[in-house]
Every structure is written in structure tokens, then in C-alpha cells.
Amino acid sequence: MNPFVTVWDFFGRLYHRLASPREFYKISRFTTPVFGLLFLLLTAAGTYLGLFVAPADYQQGDSFRIIYVHVPSAWLSLFIYMVMATAGAIGLIWRMKMAYVVVICSAPIGAAFTALALITGSLWGAPIWGTWWEWDARLTSELILLFLYLGAMALYYAFDDRKTGERATAVLAVVGVVIVPIIHYSVEWWSSLHQGATVFRAGGPAMPSSMLTPLLLMALGFTFFYGYCLFLRAQNMVLHNERNSRWVKDLINELE
């Protein structure tokens, strides 16, 4: 048997299962606690290594340790919008119900991470730059990203018809994704207070492993936390949207 055909067939079946609200709900009931556990384990390890093992920065001292919250939050702010844009495109092209659910449920989570990135950035910038806020290219574009998240949330609830709101929000997610490369390359394109890339760069990371390891653990842990929150919110939305479906009524009868 051709292994390529086998793999393609597997992902094809998985795709169609995830496209079904009923199948998604069944799968998410297993994955949600797993993601929550991985979040706790990874962030606990990252917090311990970041606070007690990683040495103080030779220029910033211990104030640099906010990086273990700021950088993962900033990474998630971009990653979640990419997920929204991809899901939005899938929903608009293939009319997949669950794609719209991912877009709607991801928006408030992405907004929270973006706000956290801005807040921690200000707390970090005050002692290092001598100011809480600067109309820096990256700060400004990150603020625009926050407005896009808030706009997606408001747009969905602006329509009485749920399907119209889903399509409009998906369009905004797809169109607004242009902000992601702008944020990523803003340090290179414009004069910026922010330093350049220190992890993913030519020549390898500029951080010692004692500082890099907890940062990667925290970033991975935060990513699993996003998955955990997304599955929880998606479960609730699926049950609400499909409340008149036979499988939801059967589920309620089982719980009773």
C-alpha cells in the first residue's frame, strides 16, 4: 500500500471528523484536559527555570525575567490571528461550521494575549527605555492588532443572523492578517526601540541555553493554554449552535 495514500486518507478522515460539530465535541472532551495538563506542567517548569535557574541579564538585571511572560504572549497574539485567518478562509471556501467556531472563539483569547503583551511590554519598557509607552512601530502595530481582535468580536455580535456574523468575522480575519508580517518585520523595516530577533535568527539564538530553555517552555505552555481555552469555548458554542440537534438532546438525556 502506498504510504502517501494512507497518510492522505488518514488526514482526510480526520478533517471530515473535525468538520462535524458532533465529532469535534467528542474529540475535544478528551483533548481539553490533556492540553490543560500540558500547560500546567510546561509553565511550572518554565517558571521555575526562569525565576530560579536562569542568571540575571548583565545589562537589565532581574527585570529581564518579564520576558518569560511578554514574549510568549506576543507570540500567541500573532499565532492566534494566523489561526483565525486560516480558519476564516476554510470557512468561507468550504463552508465548514467548525472553522467559523474557531474564528469566533479565538478572538477573545487572542485579544487577551495581545493586551497582556502590551501591558508587560510597558512594564518592561519603563525601566529599560525610561517610558511606559512610545509610538514605536512594533508597539503601534501590536495595538492595531488588539483593535482587530476587538473588532472581530464586535462584528460577530453586530448581526442578528448568526451565519452573516460568522462570514463577516471570517472576512475581517482574512483581510486583517496583513498586520502579522507588519508586526514581525517592523523592527527591520522601521527605526524601532525593539531589539531584533534573538531566538529565530540566522546563526542561531543569541541567548544562552539557561535563558532560552525556560522561554521555549513558557511559549509552548502558553500555546497549550490557548488550545485549552479554545476547546472549552468551542464546546460551549457548539452545544449552543446545535442545541436543537438530536445528538445534543441525547447528550442532555445522558447527563440527566
**Can you give the pTM of this predicted structure?**
0.90
pLDDT at 199: 64
Break the chain into its structural domains and give their ranges. Answer: 36-255
DSSP 108-135: HHHHHHHHHHHHHHHHHHHHHHS-S---
Q: Which CATH number fits domain 36-255: 1.20.120, 1.10.30, 1.10.3470, 3.30.70?
A: 1.20.120
Angle at 47 between CA 42 and CA 48, to 5 degrees: 105
CA distance 11 to 5: 10
pLDDT digits (tens, 9 = 90+) for 117-130: 999 999 988 887 78
Whether residue 120 contacts residue 73, with contact meaning beta carbons closer than 8 Å, is answered with yes
Positions in the chain short of pLDDT 50 = none
pLDDT digits (tens, 9 = 90+) for 39-73: 999 999 999 999 999 998 877 888 889 999 999 99
